[in-house]
Structure 1
């Protein structure tokens, strides 16, 4: 309840029923009206209200006596602004009263509108974060966060449990995010203190609650029980996604992320039941929730290597690979795009955080790499399903292929069997997409230069593994398309669509040829591979002669851009200033010989 000091302010406004009613009307106009003028007037009046000296007391009055959810939302929002201001901050006693009042308010009104509950929880989180180092009689009064939510978790209603879990989840997220209105150094001090004093206990609590929930055979068709499990998963994910060392990792470097779990958390990850909990949940809950489970698994798979010794890491990796194998053997839920995307991220983390030499020692490695290869090939063939997820699969195979020269383990890695399959699937699927895109009027991936370049950079490494097979496939496909293209140009009955299809196929092939040539690594290349490069270069130059001869009549912009990309890669590898010191003797002569003999179209 409010203290006497705060309650004493309320009588001043008990006679202001008209003022309260006017505030509620303004709130309704702000959030509901479709008339711009009315909404702007309401917004202006409410801004004046939030800046008024008696805003705090009126907010409390709105919460106590307001009849609409909008007025409750306004009160919670205004209170958040009041406790966040850096000039003329509220006294400690007043902030403690507001914190206690909010908790009591939520406990006695578990069925508020969702947006009101969220705003009040946000208010609690903001007060707790900004007052983290405030003391009252040698007691850090805002740090007993688990005790604050115990009353919600001990109540037998699902609504109270949801509120308690959401408070912990939102608080974790709030403390993890820097506030531009306060110094970064203060944010890091608070985040570090919260990490050391509370975060592991919160994560342990979330895992225990998940175990209890999974053991109770929840009825996930019930909206409230579904919501409880979702909030528990969000809480676990927020704990695992915490910025433990203050690096603020950019999401663009997602595939390189390592989760810097503190050493004090070792026990949770040495216990295989933690990892098993999330894999079991994935198989037992509906697709609407399982992406959150996979997001947690992505973070767990990215735990820093130094948390374990060699034996512990091998055991942890074995459990992780077994879980991945189980998902691949029962792929029904992967038909959901969100599940599919998160699972692709999980596969990428297998190689970004572990060495190929460690993976090959896992007992089920031969079967798992076969399943991953089949999954990748199928995914590439269905390129239109989730195009943004392909990056993670190609990233996995790129890193696997790049590791081959450094593997010292005696166990076979089997990449010589599966990388050609992945390369072939990517190349043929891009060529087959040309006709489908034209037929169905779909968005052409070739128009996204950044996406194409990213995938080609990854393919450049994959394609150089077992390069003989890659080169043979490219020569075969290029010769077929080039010959068909030339015949269409020479025929008087050719349709524009047929010509456009072949130009699209050749565009992809020129891009890919440029990429695999750009993937040449000087210390690992041989004269035979350089000769294969020459075979490919020869064909592109012959095609250029053909396309140049008809530029006056008709040109293809995408094909010309592919040519430019190809020449950039060729220049970088064979003509650049540093080539002389990097290439093998006789390389230039080899390439020039192949070019000079010509390759008929």
Structure 2
């Protein structure tokens, strides 16, 4: 009777945990079930739930609890108990083939975890957990679809488990994980892959008679494909490659697998599956092909590799000639990945020797052009197509084969398709209210990556690229100038088109570093640069009326690319870029170009004071300019730079204001970048000139005095808010200065300035706002920077007390903050780290 009541109680708790909308009930149920997992009779209670529980949630609880139990690093169950548990799971799955899918998955996970953790356990001179294929094979040999599906899932999850370090294993040795994974790879994995291939061959031979609307048949094929894929993505050599870079890696198939790939039937199997399966299954067949196409080169000799590559390309050609399946976005995405792998794993000299290369490269070019024009279809897949062309173009100088690569014919078509399709997208985005990829922050990384790829592609047959850009730019710029004084809505279209063109011009100029450029190419760069600078003059004249943020961001991106290529110590001053700039704009040398940079920076800081994105990118440009030895010495001689060094106040640069409105304090982060750049510029001629230092620090001195007075006399919430924002801005400013002052002399000027006059203000701020990470983080980071021995600047004389004084101030700050933060209780979970553990983000301790 007690067992029945306990069973009912546990099932009710599970129902509350997984179904109730009441968060309090869910929390209470979670607490109660945590106790269930820690109880000494946990094993028997889990078995009770599995055997007699009516709710699938109860079965799920039992399975997940058992998985946690066997995974505990500080508790190892007796070997006999784990063997019994494993056998019980297999028997349970065999006698209950129609479990709810999430219960089935939990039990499959339990089996895989027990097997992995017991891989080296021996009983009676036998590795008791290694008879995997034999034990699971009984499911597959039964011939019953449901049993076969369970068996495939068991093997598939085991391969996944062996290939990853779970959270529960994080505290265990990585060496042990690799030993287990290597042993599994050497003894079981190939047999499992062959088993998956056999199942798939059987299905492929009978594909016309399969009913894909039948869940069991569809599910079995899906799991068999997943099993094959999991085998192919196994980390064969233990490199644990980050998934984000998976398209750069080679599949390190063991030599013992060589026979499976020399027989082209394995490769052909997945092409046949792709062509015969519905779109709900075919993407996984293509995904397997992506891995097979990436098999390491050294698995074959030259003749075998050529034959293997030829067969891959023939399959690609067949897909391109019968592209109906590519209408599905998943198929399309995997096919683009397959194309990218052709060049990442094979040399251009090998590709040009495949059968009918000229027809295939034409088909790929046509597919790429069509894809680029259909810019709304699977936009995340375009990266792979551009990657293919980028790598092929970059390989041209190294091709030794006598066969023509034909890239000079087809690459300009790809470049043109990308440029024109982006321009055509502007009208559609505005007309249909779609997300603009240039404004969508989530897409910024994707667009940046595409432009980096285009920077290489566009330099192939650069004359054609430049001529196209000049033509399109002149058309849009002329129309933009005509509309500049009107309120015609078409101006937004021209601003969007010009934004794309400026980004692309910056990208292709940046691509110069990848090629041995000629004077003619430099002259073409000069033509493009002149046009962007002339456009900038026009857009800057309209900033007082509002301006276009998107276009200004594009111009900043262009400046950054131009700086990398044509500004600095390594640039030849006789470059035809400067010659063209001199002829058209009168900018005859680097100093005059730098004056244009600074003029743009000051203009942006003046007119875009409340645009965090533009201010941030503008200040990053200033910071980059302040690093180069040659350019920074030329910068400090400019009148505009001296003006900034002597007038860095909110009166001249609104972004330095405290803005007591609703803007978040995080907007002030860019101030550190600003003062780092100013500090570097000041350091050029500072030496031991304390008067010059004091003059530079005057705005900060006045700000500190003001904050100190406000903290001492603030009598209203508004005054305290003003004091808080001023203090945060000041802490960020000083951190930038401290970062730049990396010599002993300059650091001591700063230290003598801040201590002991102003450090009490920082301590007072921590005392007042210890609970607010918006204040504590910048203040603590400032103290961390002051304690940082950057470039050995903390070299105090033997008789100097400054080292002790600095230590005292830093330790006092830590104690003051730490003693107060410990008094905080009931902090929301999502605020624990920013509010209570900020030291995780600091290098202070």
TM-score, normalization: structure 1?
A: 0.94
Provide the C-alpha distance between the structure 2 equivalents of 1:476 and 1:588, rounded to a whole number of angstroms. 19
Task: Indicate the SS of the match to 1:346.
Answer: helix
| One of 91, 113, 136 as aligned partner of 1:149 | 136
| One of 172, 178, 183 as aligned partner of 1:182 | 172
Decide whether aligned partners of structure 1 residues 522 and 457 sit closer, same or farther in structure 2, where only a CA change above 3 A counts: closer
| One of 18, 31, 38 as aligned partner of 2:18 | 31
Aligned to 2:464: 469
Aligned to 2:579: 590
1:360 lines up with 2:352 in the alignment: yes
If you compute each CA radius of gyration, which structure gives the higher value, 1 or 2? 2
**How far is 1:70 from its partner?**
1.6
Provide the C-alpha distance between the structure 1 equivalents of 2:363 and 2:510, rounded to a whole number of angstroms. 29
**How far is 1:53 from its partner?**
0.5
1:373 lines up with 2:360 in the alignment: no
Aligned to 1:202: 192
1:105 lines up with 2:92 in the alignment: yes
Aligned to 1:52: 39
| One of 221, 229, 234 as aligned partner of 1:237 | 229
Provide the C-alpha distance between the structure 1 equivalents of 2:89 and 2:444, rounded to a whole number of angstroms. 51
Higher RCO, Cα 8 Å, sep 6+: 1
Decide whether aligned partners of structure 1 residues 589 and 502 sit closer, same or farther in structure 2, where only a CA change above 3 A counts: closer
Task: Indicate the SS of the match to 1:59.
Answer: helix
Contact 1:344 1:393 in 2 (8 A): yes
1:482 lines up with 2:477 in the alignment: yes
| One of 120, 125, 128 as aligned partner of 2:107 | 120
The Cα offsets for residues 339-392 of structure 1, whole Å up to 9 and x where unpaired, read as: 111111111001011010000000121111111111111111111111111111
Task: Indicate the SS of the match to 1:445.
Answer: coil
Aligned to 1:215: 205
The Cα offsets for residues 189-217 of structure 1, whole Å up to 9 and x where unpaired, read as: 11111011100110111101100122223
1:504 lines up with 2:496 in the alignment: yes
The Cα offsets for residues 29-56 of structure 1, whole Å up to 9 and x where unpaired, read as: 2222222222222222211111110110
| 1:531-542 equivalent positions in 2, closer than 5 A | 531-542=523-534
Contact 2:162 2:180 in 1 (8 A): yes
Contact 1:535 1:594 in 2 (8 A): no
**How far is 1:586 from its partner?**
5.1
Contact 1:534 1:594 in 2 (8 A): no
1:545 lines up with 2:537 in the alignment: yes
Contact 2:70 2:77 in 1 (8 A): yes
The Cα offsets for residues 97-131 of structure 1, whole Å up to 9 and x where unpaired, read as: 00011101111111111111111111100000000
Size of the aligned set, in residue pairs, is 579
Aligned to 2:400: 408
| 1:61-100 equivalent positions in 2, closer than 5 A | 61-100=48-87
1:571 lines up with 2:563 in the alignment: yes
1:168 lines up with 2:163 in the alignment: no
**How far is 1:523 from its partner?**
6.0
Contact 1:377 1:421 in 2 (8 A): yes
Provide the C-alpha distance between the structure 1 equivalents of 2:321 and 2:24, rounded to a whole number of angstroms. 59
Contact 2:526 2:577 in 1 (8 A): no
Task: Indicate the SS of the match to 2:93.
Answer: helix
Aligned to 1:331: 323
Aligned to 1:315: 307
Aligned to 2:713: none
Decide whether aligned partners of structure 1 residues 40 and 523 sit closer, same or farther in structure 2, where only a CA change above 3 A counts: closer
1:417 lines up with 2:409 in the alignment: yes
Decide whether aligned partners of structure 1 residues 29 and 551 sit closer, same or farther in structure 2, where only a CA change above 3 A counts: closer
**How far is 1:15 from its partner?**
5.6
**How far is 1:489 from its partner?**
2.0
Is the deviation greater in 253-262 or in 158-167? 253-262
1:296 lines up with 2:288 in the alignment: yes
Contact 2:455 2:509 in 1 (8 A): yes
Is the deviation greater in 343-352 or in 76-85? 76-85
Aligned to 1:526: 518
Alignment gaps of 5+ in structure 1: 1-13
Task: Indicate the SS of the match to 1:16.
Answer: helix
Aligned to 1:137: 124
Provide the C-alpha distance between the structure 2 equivalents of 1:592 and 1:374, rounded to a whole number of angstroms. 38
**How far is 1:88 from its partner?**
2.8
Provide the C-alpha distance between the structure 2 equivalents of 1:170 and 1:594, rounded to a whole number of angstroms. 68
The Cα offsets for residues 49-101 of structure 1, whole Å up to 9 and x where unpaired, read as: 11110110111122122222122111111111111112231100000000011
Alignment gaps of 5+ in structure 2: 588-845
Provide the C-alpha distance between the structure 2 equivalents of 1:208 and 1:591, rounded to a whole number of angstroms. 67
Decide whether aligned partners of structure 1 residues 594 and 318 sit closer, same or farther in structure 2, where only a CA change above 3 A counts: farther
**How far is 1:139 from its partner?**
0.3
| One of 420, 436, 440 as aligned partner of 1:444 | 436
| 1:237-256 equivalent positions in 2, closer than 5 A | 237-256=229-248
Contact 2:522 2:575 in 1 (8 A): no
Task: Indicate the SS of the match to 1:446.
Answer: coil
Provide the C-alpha distance between the structure 1 equivalents of 2:229 and 2:8, rounded to a whole number of angstroms. 42
Provide the C-alpha distance between the structure 2 equivalents of 1:250 and 1:362, rounded to a whole number of angstroms. 32
Aligned to 1:7: none
Provide the C-alpha distance between the structure 1 equivalents of 2:27 and 2:78, rounded to a whole number of angstroms. 33
Is the deviation greater in 35-44 or in 80-89? 35-44
Aligned to 1:340: 332
Superposition CA RMSD, Å: 1.5
| One of 43, 61, 70 as aligned partner of 2:30 | 43
**How far is 1:143 from its partner?**
0.6
The Cα offsets for residues 228-277 of structure 1, whole Å up to 9 and x where unpaired, read as: 00000000000000011111111221221111111111111111000000
Contact 1:62 1:71 in 2 (8 A): yes
User: Runs in 1 of length 4+ with deviation above 6 angstroms?
Assistant: none
| One of 241, 251, 260 as aligned partner of 1:259 | 251
Provide the C-alpha distance between the structure 1 equivalents of 2:461 and 2:571, rounded to a whole number of angstroms. 24
Aligned to 1:457: 452
**How far is 1:521 from its partner?**
3.6
